[in-house]
Amino acid sequence: MVKTKIAVLVSGGGTNLQALLDAQARGDIRNGKITAVVSSTPGAFALERAKGANVPGHVVNRKDYDSRESFTEALLGKLSELNADLIVLAGFLYILSPAFVERYENRIINIHPALIPSFCGDGFYGLKVHEKALEYGVKLTGATVHFVSAEADAGPIILQKAVAIEEGDTAEILQKRVMEQAEWKLLPEAVSLFCQGRLHVEGRIVRIDQAE
């Protein structure tokens, strides 16, 4: 079976990228290979992580484009040059245009640090997500891996994992717990399932084939 070529899109620190690279090194991304990391920011530490794992890093700098459309065009050009089969958004800060989403329908995976449909959509990114969860007083939060659709954080859900809120949590503490207990596990697992052809999207529902 030909391996799925994975391009990971990043904008920042890249701990989720690191989780993917570590999973790959352990042989846990079955039937897939991370062939490129594309950053929207030239100085992103994620590019160092890519280098450390001998994965080619590329930059499509958001600041070089004056609209979401022209930025998306440039990204699409880069990704087709890279022949990517699967796009993984791992801390990628920009909402992709409908044209992009259409081009890669059900082939773009995103990780969001909350249990969708809570604390998601426009304006819910980074620490804000955790601040809002704490403010609301929920007892459980978590992470969601989903396919990307034209609406932010609204595509079919692949995997979710709950994480408990604890007394004395700050947004920073909670962010770290959600990453350690949920995000860094779920994202490699979902990517591996995709690469094995075990995810089937039926409307909003993602069915997962059992392992053989």
The one-character DSSP state at 62 is G
What is the Cα–Cα distance from 99 to 38, expressed in whole angstroms?
18
Whichever of 32 and 113 has its CB closer to ligand GRF, that residue is 113
Whichever of 172 and 209 has its CB closer to ligand GRF, that residue is 172
Whichever of 73 and 131 has its CB closer to ligand GRF, that residue is 131
* Cβ contact 158:146 at 8 Å: yes
Taking the CB of residue 71, how many other CB atoms lie within 10 A of it? 21
The one-character DSSP state at 126 is T
Instruction: Please give the residue ranges that form the binding site for ligand GRF (CB under 6 A).
Output: 12-16, 90-91, 111-113, 183
- Which one of 58, 112, 130, 146 is the catalytic residue? 112
Specify whether 112 is catalytic. Answer: yes
What is the Cα–Cα distance from 95 to 71, expressed in whole angstroms?
11
The one-character DSSP state at 21 is H
Fill in the amino acid letter for 18: Q
Fill in the amino acid letter for 96: L
Number of residue whose CB is nearest ligand GRF: 91
* Shortest Cβ 92–ligand GRF spacing (Å): 7
* Shortest Cβ 27–ligand GRF spacing (Å): 22
Q: Is 116 helix (H, G, I), strand (E, B) or coil?
A: coil
* Shortest Cβ 125–ligand GRF spacing (Å): 7
What is the Cα–Cα distance from 212 to 205, expressed in whole angstroms?
21
Fill in the amino acid letter for 122: D
Whichever of 15 and 196 has its CB closer to ligand GRF, that residue is 15
- Residues with catalytic roles: 112
